[in-house]
Structure 1
Amino acid sequence: MENLFNLNYKDEVEALKEEENFEALGDAKYINHHDKEARLYWAFCRPSGSHPHQIADSDPLVSIMAFNHSRLSALSRFEHLHPQVIENETLRKKIGNRTRMLFRDLTDNDFVELNQVLDLVPIFLPIAVNQLKYGRKWNDIDAHPIQASIFLRRSKIYHDDDFFQSFYQKLTDIEEFELSELKTFLIEISSMKHQIEPLVLNHFKERSLLWSKNSNLHILQRKGIEKLIEELDFR
Structure 2
Amino acid sequence: MEELFNLTYKDEVEELKDQENFESLGDEKYLNHPDMEARLYWAFCRPNGSREEQIADTEPLVSIMAFNHSKLPALKRFQLLHKDVIIEDSLRVKIRNRTRMLFRSLTDDDFTELNQVLDLVPVFLPVAIDQLKVGRKWNDIVANEIEATKFIQKAKDYIDESFLEALYFKLQSFEEFDEKELKEYLEKIIGIKKLVHKIILDYYQKKAMEWIANSDLHILQKKGLEKLVGKLDY
TM normalised by structure 2 equals 0.96
State the partner residue of 1:50.
50
User: Which deviations, in whole Å up to 9, do the C-alpha atoms of 1:90-142 show, x marking residues without a partner?
Assistant: 00000011111111111111111110100000000011111111222222211
Matched, 1:85 2:85: yes
CA distance in 1, matches of 2:8, 2:79: 30
What is the identity, as a one-letter code, of the residue corresponding to 1:152? I
Shift of 1:233: 2.7
What aligned pairs does 1:1-235 form with structure 2 within 5 A after superposition?
Answer: 2-234=2-234
Give secondary structure in 1 for the equivalent of 2:136.
coil
User: Which deviations, in whole Å up to 9, do the C-alpha atoms of 1:170-195 show, x marking residues without a partner?
Assistant: 11111121112111211111121111
Moved segments of 4+, more than 3 Å: none
Shift of 1:57: 0.3
Which deviates the most, 13-22 or 143-152?
A: 13-22
CA distance in 2, matches of 1:43, 1:119: 27
User: Aligned pair in 2 of structure 1 residues 230, 30: CA closer, same or farther (>3 Å)?
Assistant: same
User: Aligned pair in 2 of structure 1 residues 160, 68: CA closer, same or farther (>3 Å)?
Assistant: same
Shift of 1:82: 0.2
The answer to whether the 8 Å contact 1:7/1:41 transfers is: no
* Percent identity of equivalent pairs: 60
> What RMSD, in angstroms, separates the aligned Cα atoms of the two structures?
1.3
**Structure 1 alignment gaps of length 5 or more:** none
CA distance in 1, matches of 2:2, 2:79: 28
CA distance in 2, matches of 1:126, 1:197: 20
CA distance in 2, matches of 1:32, 1:197: 48
The answer to whether the 8 Å contact 2:107/2:131 transfers is: yes
CA distance in 2, matches of 1:4, 1:74: 26
User: Which deviations, in whole Å up to 9, do the C-alpha atoms of 1:26-52 show, x marking residues without a partner?
Assistant: 112211111101100100001111101
What is the identity, as a one-letter code, of the residue corresponding to 1:85? V
Give secondary structure in 1 for the equivalent of 2:190.
helix
**Structure 2 alignment gaps of length 5 or more:** none
Aligned residues: 234
The answer to whether the 8 Å contact 2:4/2:37 transfers is: no
CA distance in 2, matches of 1:72, 1:13: 23
Which deviates the most, 122-131 or 15-24?
A: 15-24
CA distance in 1, matches of 2:118, 2:34: 33
The answer to whether the 8 Å contact 1:64/1:85 transfers is: yes
CA distance in 1, matches of 2:48, 2:230: 52
TM normalised by structure 1 equals 0.95
Give secondary structure in 2 for the equivalent of 1:58.
coil
CA distance in 1, matches of 2:227, 2:24: 62
